[in-house]
Amino acid sequence: MPRTLFVTTALPYANGPLHIGHIMEYIQADIWVRFQRMQGHTVHFVGADDAHGAPIMLAAEKAAKSPEAFIAEIQRGRRQYLDGFHISFDNWHSTHSPENTALSQDIYRRLKAAALVYTKRIEQFFDPVKGMFLADRYIKGECPVCGAKDQYGDACENCSSVYPATALKNPYSTLSGATPVLKSSEHHFFKLSDPNCKRFLEEWLDRYGALRRPAAERVMTLAGRLTTMAVTRSAPQRALRNAALSIMDALPPVKDRLAMNLSGLARRDLAA
Ligand SMILES: [Zn+2]
């Protein structure tokens, strides 16, 4: 029986050109896609640039370009490699697209209406020289457990301890070397720990057989450990967007199914 398949690869980060590791992955996926097409199946094979985040902002600044101009240039450079290696993506897009913006906002509004999103002020390290809040990877200091120097803001490579960046001793910004200061800002949090989210995931996996069994079992194990997470970043970084959403647009049935499930979740939550 002919099947309709959705195939994608890890989205390359738009802070640099494609390298041999990317191409190797795409060639493997491409062989599989061609085989499925020869078997008479319909395959949607799509890829996109992952175009958001602090590393892109910093790379653009270094190149004296706006982040938008920087990622546009990176994207323009993709074609020659994809064509050169005969990789048959049906569509190559970007997480920085109007479709992704519309979908992300739609999902956000539905979750907000279902009371699964709330705001809270939190304290974070801020680089007074660069004038920006610092992600954990841009903060280093002494491990609060073993005292090892030059450890990142989230974990110690020496003793494997995990800690919040605020626990580091003598912290410094890896961007400017300045001592970061604590500053508070408001963030939006997604209550992934809500039992409704776990139930939604279980039902979705069950109803659509969306994943093969080992993968589905792994997801269910993880579902039990879902925690509330921040889904915004302080300016000047952009709001975190789900990279997968840009691809959803290439496959309307999945997008509609997702929207349907989200509205189902919203309804259930509002009724509860
Ligand atoms: Zn340590």
Report the CATH number at residue 178: 2.170.220.10
Q: Is residue 213 part of a domain?
A: no
Q: Is residue 172 part of a domain?
A: yes
For residue 82, give its domain range.
4-116+228-271
CA of 169 to the centre of ligand 1 (A): 11
Whether 176 is in a domain gets the answer yes
* 171 and 236 share one domain: no
Find the 159 Cα to ligand 1 centroid distance in Å: 4
Q: Are 130 and 153 within one domain? A: yes
The reported pLDDT for the residue numbered 178 is 95
Indicate the angle between helix axes 213-223 and 195-208, nearest 10 degrees: 170
Q: Which pLDDT value is given to residue 236?
A: 62
Whether 109 and 179 share a structural domain: no
Assess whether 111 and 128 both reside in one domain. Answer: no
pLDDT for 132 equals 87
Domain limit, last residue, from 162, 185, 208: 185
Domains contained in the chain, number? 2
Between CA 110 and CA 200 the distance in angstroms is 14
Question: Last residue of a domain, which of 185, 214, 239?
Answer: 185
**Within this chain, do residues 251 and 176 fall inside the same structural domain, yes or no?**
no
Distance 175 CA to ligand 1 centre (A): 22
At residue 73's C-alpha, the angle toward residues 70 and 77, to 5°, is 140
CATH label of the domain that carries residue 53: 3.40.50.620
Residue type, 195: P
The answer to whether residue 221 sits within a structural domain is: no
* 145 and 88 part of one domain: no
Determine the distance separating the centroid of ligand 1 and the alpha carbon of 173, expressed in angstroms.
Answer: 19
Provide the Cα torsion 25, 46, 17, 57; round to 10°.
-120
124, 165, 212, 264 from 150: Cα distances, Å? 19, 12, 42, 48
Compute the distance from residue 56 Cα to the ligand 1 centre, in Å. Answer: 29
Do 12 and 69 have their domain in common? yes
Per-run averaged pLDDT (10 residues), the chain, 272 residues = 94 94 96 97 96 88 93 94 95 94 93 93 90 88 95 91 90 94 91 88 81 83 81 61 34 40 38 31
- Centroid of ligand 1 to alpha carbon of 221 (angstroms): 29
Q: What is the CA(155)–ligand 1 centre distance, in A?
A: 8
This prediction's pTM: 0.69
36 C-alpha vs ligand 1 centroid, how far in Å?
A: 49
Check whether residue 18 and residue 94 sit in a common domain: yes
